[in-house]
Amino acid sequence: MTTIVENDLAVTFPNSVSARRFDDGAIHGLTHCMKAVDFIVEFPDRMVFVEFKDPQDSAAPEHQTRDYIAKFKSGVIDDQLKTKFRDTFLYEWASGRVNKPIDY
């Protein structure tokens, strides 16, 4: 069982094998040219790319929450998520770690 934490959000994956933070530039060193998902969780039969988004973050100013929700509704966030998936997949594939299906 693995629990991953991002700020005040936490998710537990009962049947997972491992989990690692991936959006830390010290891990892959490519933040200048690639985007990254927050975590990669591995299960016996698949990998899961996890991206945390918390539009109801109580610490965020109200105008930031409104702006985020507007971006989400407009589809801008979808484009950002696609880029994070693509770049993370390419990095993991080039590193020889993609050997099972990926869920996002």
Note the pLDDT tens digit of each residue in 35-83. Answer: 999 999 999 999 999 998 776 777 788 888 888 889 889 988 999 999 9
Give the tokens for residue 33.
Answer: 């040219």
- Contacts with 15 (C-beta within 8 Å, 6 or more apart), sequence order: 1, 43, 44
Q: What are phi and psi for residue 39, nearest 5 degrees?
A: -140, 155
Note the pLDDT tens digit of each residue in 75-104. Answer: 889 999 999 999 999 999 999 999 999 999
